Structure 1
Amino acid sequence: MRLSTIIFATMFHGYAQLAGAVESHCEQDESIIFNCRTGKKIVSVCASKTISDSSGYLQYRFGPKGAPELILPAAKIPPNADIQANTLTFAGGGGAYIRFKQEPYGYVVYTALGRGWGDKAGIAVEKNNGLQVNLNCKKPVLSELGPDFFDKAGLSKDQIGFELP
């Protein structure tokens, strides 16, 4: 097992127990890839049960329970260049993120764990690749973000990079 897989598995131990008890924008027949509350709003990354670069879909959904204000991409289509992902490496930790693009905006869902500061998760809203807003997740956080999922989904590697807010 790769070190990055161990880090991501350790970060969010207990995922299966939490998945059924958490409010999400994902539908019953979808997988929760990422989910948390940022106050009164929920951010969810939902995927079809089967996903690859040629079939299935991945969507970012944000807004109040039962009424997402933003869904990217709007249609349930296979992942394309507007959805990119990458991992983060730190001394004593690591992280992962997915960037959903809708020019000039980017919506970056992230999780990370580092020695000295613990775990972080949230959504960073960017405009022209510059941070506009960062919303921190409240616990519990559900996350399947990481290299295994990125490979399985056929996501393009993000070339812009991402600095934790």
Structure 2
Amino acid sequence: MPRAIPVLCAMALSLLLVSPVLAADTAKGDAGIKEAAGLCAAPAATVAFSCKTRDNYLVAVCTRDNGLLQLVFESAGKANTRVALPKDPADKASVRVGYMLYSGGGGSYGGFKAADREYVAYSGFGKGWKQTGMSEVRGEKHLAEHICLPATKPYDIGFPLLGEKAGYAPDAAQDFDLDVQ
């Protein structure tokens, strides 16, 4: 039994040496989770989803004590870039929640409207891929894709389940189409 420990240590070390980028992304992602979770610091807020993206955004979906959802994001390290949608968490008409269905996979999303754009936080997976992030869309056009680093809290965020608690109507169209990268 004691001989197994050095073998396991060598295997773990070889994985880190073979994939230093993945290890670095995970480390940044772990720190980003805590940093992004700070966006939900308002009283009576719980973090339902948080991550740091590859392009250096902090993204969080916060739930209030009454279950209402709010998306908060900012460009990490840049002052005065924080956006909270909807501005009034009681504005249920500005939020949609739904499921994505794929062959061999699926996911969920929460869309938060702002003027002529919508910001969609999502978590999805399929055969050979998984992706979590925030899309900026106008109509059917993806304007920007902010993909989370690997360590995200959590991958299965279940927006419709969160939304059901607060009385949001599920998105009848179930029409968010993920731009897998």
TM-score by length of 2: 0.68
Match of residue 63 from structure 2: 47
1:116 match: 128
Q: Is the 8 A contact 1:83 1:156 kept in 2?
A: no
Aligned with residue 62 of structure 1, among 73, 76, 95: 73
Higher helix fraction: Structure 1 or Structure 2? Answer: 2
Q: CA deviation at 1:60?
A: 0.9
Q: How many correspondences in the alignment? A: 140
Which residue, 146, 150, 165 being the options, matches 2:163? 150
Residue identity in the other structure for 1:99: G
Deviation at residue 79 of structure 1 after TM alignment: 4.7
Greater relative contact order, per chain length (Cα 8 Å cut-off, separation 6+) = 1
Give TM-score, length-normalised by structure 1: 0.74
d(CA) in 2 for partners of 1:162, 1:71: 21
* 1:130 is the counterpart of 2:141: yes
| Unmatched 5+ stretches in structure 1 | 1-17, 52-56
Distance 2:40 2:80 in 1: 11
> What is the SS of the residue equivalent to 1:156?
coil
Percent sequence identity is: 26
> Which residue in 2 is equivalent to 1:26?
40
The structure 2 residue matched to 1:82, chosen from 94, 101, 111, is 94
Match of residue 50, structure 2, among 24, 35, 46? 35
Shift of residue 103, structure 1, vs aligned partner:
2.6
2: CA distance between counterparts of 1:145 and 1:46? 13
Residue by residue over 1:70-123, the C-alpha shift from the partner in whole angstroms, topping out at 9 and shown as x without a partner, is 111123x32511100100112222100010011310001100111222x11011
Is 1:73 the counterpart of 2:86 in the alignment?
yes
Q: 8 Å contact 1:105–1:128 — kept in the other structure?
A: yes
Corresponding residue to 2:117 among 105, 119, 128? 105
What is the CA RMSD across the aligned residues, in angstroms? 2.3
Amino acid at match of 1:163: D
Deviation at 1:160, TM superposition (A): 6.4
Kindly indicate which of the two structures has a greater share of residues assigned to strand: 1
1:162 and 2:162 matched = no
